[in-house]
Amino acid sequence: MERGAPIAVVHELDKEIQQRLGAEFAVDIHARPADIAAAAERAQRAIEEREEISTEERLLDAGPQRSQWGVNATLHALWESRVATLVADDMFATPGARCRSCTALLPAQQGHCPVCSSDPIDSVEDVVELVIEQTLDEDGAFEMVRSAAARRMLTPIRPMAASLRW
What is the per-residue pLDDT across 105-164, written as a single tens digit (0 to 9) for each? 999 888 889 999 998 899 999 999 999 999 999 999 999 999 999 999 988 888 999 999
Q: Give the 3-state secondary structure of residue 13.
A: coil
122 backbone dihedrals φ, ψ, rounded to 5°: -105, 140
- What are the structural domains, with CATH classification, of the chain? 5-164 (3.30.1330.30)
Q: Which residues pair with 85 in a beta bridge?
A: 141, 163
Q: Give the pLDDT confidence score for residue 23 in this predicted structure.
A: 67
Question: Is it the case that residue 2 has pLDDT exceeding 70?
Answer: no
Tell me if 97 sits within 8 A of 127, measured CB to CB.
yes
CA distance 106 to 112: 11
Average pLDDT, the chain: 88
Q: Give the 3-state secondary structure of residue 43.
A: helix
Question: Is it the case that residue 1 has pLDDT exceeding 60?
Answer: no
158 backbone dihedrals φ, ψ, rounded to 5°: -75, 165
CA distance 138 to 80: 11
Question: Is it the case that residue 3 has pLDDT exceeding 50?
Answer: no
CA distance 58 to 51: 11
